[in-house]
């Protein structure tokens, strides 16, 4: 495959409602899209990094910079390029996994489109549709939270995830459990707690949560292992798992019993599949996380979520949960499920008018 150029676009798309987590509130998603153009096709990759460096060190404008100055030139120098050669070519660049993932995804999409193979088939998907959950941000009050959850349950979501932080944990969880009974319920702290909060977090035990996601800082694997000995709720790691190697270490250490797999966070779909395999070999259930992706990233996430080890509903929600107008044809929930695209590559493409409308910056890098 011969790369002829790479386009890097920055887009800004308003969210249907502000999304508040322990690290801030998003009202508009600023994101980077990569379009890899080859001699006989083109492919798209969406970068998961948000506006600021608050979920992790990465952010959209840094991704643009590292792509333009380092990643694209390094990949442009690869002979006989294919997606499996992208990560090795970028190995000398520290971090920037979301930027690397976007570029690898674009190359993989271009290759698969040219060969008429879907993402799902290439990754090893075994399902035509995937069970979907929804991530509910921190709200101004408990009544507002109950209204939001009621709306999502009415939409058909099969699992509810509540964002928590110190001061917004036991009471909102109690309120949701009391009001909605026996639903699949889990929480995500985005690193907002410290080791000394173990006893406090054990107060979530009576609510029979599916999991407690990333309570402690991303580099604190040992802390998570100790916490797992104090709380009964299963610990799930998100931010801490940046590779198949860290997944293997976290499992060996007893730092988690469930893993949230986000392809961007781990450098791409190929590494994401390796994490799936490591977890499957260890009997660790996985589920697909989300970074408020547009339809482009969502299509690829659905393909991944259709692999056999993805046994829990993911943060793979319908287009309308995020955007009034998605970048692709909208993904619509059907009895709590989204259909895995089957067309070549991602199986979806940006709608040209929508894409132009949300683009705030555009660079063409000839190869």
Could you list the active site residues?
163, 262
Which three-class secondary structure state does DSSP give residue 164?
Answer: coil
- Give the footprint of Mg ion on residues 113-132 (CB under 5 A): none
- Which residues inside 193-232 make contact with ligand SMG, applying CB under 6 A? none
What is the token pair recorded at 155? Answer: 């939409």
Residue 233: which of ligand SMG, Mg ion, none does it interact with, CB under 5 to 8 A by kind?
A: none
Cβ closest to ligand SMG, residue 133 vs residue 344: 133
Interface mask (CB under 6 A) for ligand SMG, residues 128-147, using x and -? Answer: -------x------------
Q: For residue 238, state whether it binds Mg ion (rule: CB under 5 A).
A: yes
Cα–Cα distance between 331 and 258 in angstroms, integer? 27
CB atoms within 10 A of CB 84: 12
Backbone phi, psi, residue 218, to 5°: -65, -30
* Closest residue to ligand SMG in the complex (CB): 290
**55 binds ligand SMG per the rule CB under 6 A:** yes
Local structure of residue 131 (DSSP, 8 states):
E
- DSSP of 142-163: HHHHHHHHHHHHHHT-SEEEEE
Residue in 43, 45, 50, 120 binding ligand SMG, rule: CB under 6 A: 50
Tell me if 253 sits within 8 A of 222, measured CB to CB.
Answer: yes
Within 280-319, which residues bind ligand SMG (CB under 6 A)? 289-292, 315, 317
Question: By CB under 6 A, what part of segment 232-251 binds ligand SMG?
Answer: 238
Q: What pairing do the DSSP bridges indicate for beta strands 3-21 and 42-46? A: unpaired
**How far apart are alpha carbons 208 and 204 in whole angstroms?**
8
CA distance 190 to 78: 37
Binder of Mg ion out of 46, 58, 109, 188 (CB under 5 A): 188
Chain residues 246-275 in contact with ligand SMG, contact rule CB under 6 A:
none
Give the end-to-end CA distance of the chain in Å, rounded to a whole number.
Answer: 13
Span from 156-164, 177-185, 210-218, 228-236 in contact with Mg ion (CB under 5 A): 210-218
Counting contacts by CB under 6 A, is residue 38 touching ligand SMG? no
**Under rule CB under 5 A, how many of the chain's residues touch Mg ion?**
3
- 293 contributes a contact to Mg ion by CB under 5 A: no
The number of residues in the chain equals: 367
DSSP H or E segment with residue 134: strand 133-136
By the criterion CB under 5 A, which residues form the site for Mg ion? 188, 213, 238
By the criterion CB under 6 A, which residues form the site for ligand SMG? 19, 21, 26, 50, 55, 135, 188, 190, 238, 289-292, 315, 317
């Amino acid at each position: 495959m011969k790369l002829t150029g790479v386009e890097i676009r920055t887009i800004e798309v308003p969210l249907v409602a502000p999304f508040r987590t322990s690290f801030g509130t998003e009202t508009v998603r600023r994101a980077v899209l990569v379009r890899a153009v080859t001699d006989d096709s083109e492919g798209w990759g969406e970068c998961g990094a948000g506006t600021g460096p608050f979920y992790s060190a990465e952010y959209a404008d840094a991704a643009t910079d590292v792509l333009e100055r380092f990643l694209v030139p390094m990949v442009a120098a690869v002979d006989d390029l294919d997606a499996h050669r992208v990560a090795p070519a970028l190995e000398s660049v520290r971090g920037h996994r979301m930027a690397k993932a976007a570029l690898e995804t674009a190359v993989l999409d271009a290759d698969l489109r040219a060969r008429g193979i879907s993402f799902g088939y290439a990754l090893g998907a075994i399902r035509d549709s995937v069970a979907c959950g929804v991530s509910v941000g921190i709200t101004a009050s408990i009544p507002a939270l109950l209204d939001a959850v009621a709306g999502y349950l009415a939409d058909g979501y099969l699992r509810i995830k509540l964002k928590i932080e110190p001061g917004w944990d036991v009471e909102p969880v109690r309120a949701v459990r009391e009001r909605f009974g026996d639903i699949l319920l889990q929480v995500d702290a985005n690193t907002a707690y410290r080791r000394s909060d173990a006893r406090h977090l054990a107060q979530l035990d009576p609510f029979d949560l599916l999991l407690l996601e990333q309570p402690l800082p991303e580099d604190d694997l040992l802390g998570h292992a100790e916490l797992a000995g104090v709380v009964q709720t299963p610990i799930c790691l998100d931010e801490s798992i940046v590779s198949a190697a860290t997944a293997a270490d976290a499992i060996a250490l007893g730092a988690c019993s469930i893993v949230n797999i986000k392809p961007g966070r781990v450098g791409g779909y190929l590494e994401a599949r390796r994490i799936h395999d490591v977890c499957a070999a260890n009997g660790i259930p996985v589920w697909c996380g989300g970074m408020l992706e547009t339809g482009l990233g969502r299509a690829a996430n659905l393909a991944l979520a259709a692999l056999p080890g993805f046994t829990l509903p993911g943060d793979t929600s319908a287009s309308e949960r995020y955007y009034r107008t998605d970048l692709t044809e909208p993904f619509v929930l059907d009895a709590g499920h989204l259909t895995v695209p089957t067309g070549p590559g991602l199986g979806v493409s940006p709608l040209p008018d929508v894409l132009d409308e949300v683009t705030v910056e555009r660079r063409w890098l000839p190869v």
